[in-house]
Amino acid sequence: MASALNKSSSSAAARVCSSPLMHPSRVFRGCGWSMRSDEEVKALFESWMVQFEKVYTSIEEKEKRFAMFRDTLRSIDLHNSTGNSLWRCGLNRFADYTNDEVRGPKPIKRCSNTQQAEVEDDAAAGIN
C-alpha cells in the first residue's frame, strides 16, 4: 500500500496542536521519517476512527482513507521532527481528507431575488 506523496493527492496535514494520538517520541529525529510500523499506523487509524466517529461505506473507501491518513501522519511526523517550528502538528478529524476536500467547494455567488428574476426574464426573452 505504498503511495507517493504529491501535492494534488496528498492528504491534508492536520495543522493543529498536539493530539493524544500523536507523540513526538515516536518520530525519528534528523530525517523526519516516521519509525512507526505498519501495525502501529493501522492501530492509530482504528483508534482515530473511533475518536472521530468515522464510518466508511466500503472496504475500498476505508483503504483510500487509510492511505490519506497515513500520508497525513507522515507529513505530521516530518513537520514535528524538524524542531525548527514554533508550532506542532497533530491529528484532527480531517486527517483522512485530501487537500482539496479540506478546502471544500468554491462558494457559489448568490444573487438577490430581483437579479434572479431579471436573469429569468432575459432568458425567456432570448437575451444572454
* pLDDT tens-digit map of 30-79: 444 557 899 999 999 999 999 999 999 999 999 999 999 999 999 998 88
Q: Is the pLDDT of residue 114 over 90?
A: no
Mention every residue, 6+ apart, whose C-beta is less than 8 A from residue 32: 77, 78, 79, 81, 82
User: Is the whole model's pTM more than 0.75, yes or no?
Assistant: no
Query: Which residue has better confidence, 58 or 111?
Result: 58
97 pLDDT above the threshold of 50:
yes
Average pLDDT value for the chain: 73
pLDDT tens for 83-96 read 888 999 999 999 99
120 versus 12: the higher-pLDDT residue is: 120
- Higher-confidence position of 15 and 93: 93
Q: Give me the domains of the chain, ranges plus CATH numbers.
A: 24-125 (1.10.287.2250)
Quick check: helix, strand or coil at residue 115?
helix
What residues does 98 pair with on adjacent strands? Answer: 11
Rounded distance between C-alpha atoms, residue 107 and residue 118, angstroms: 22
In contact, 38 and 2? CB cutoff 8 Å: no
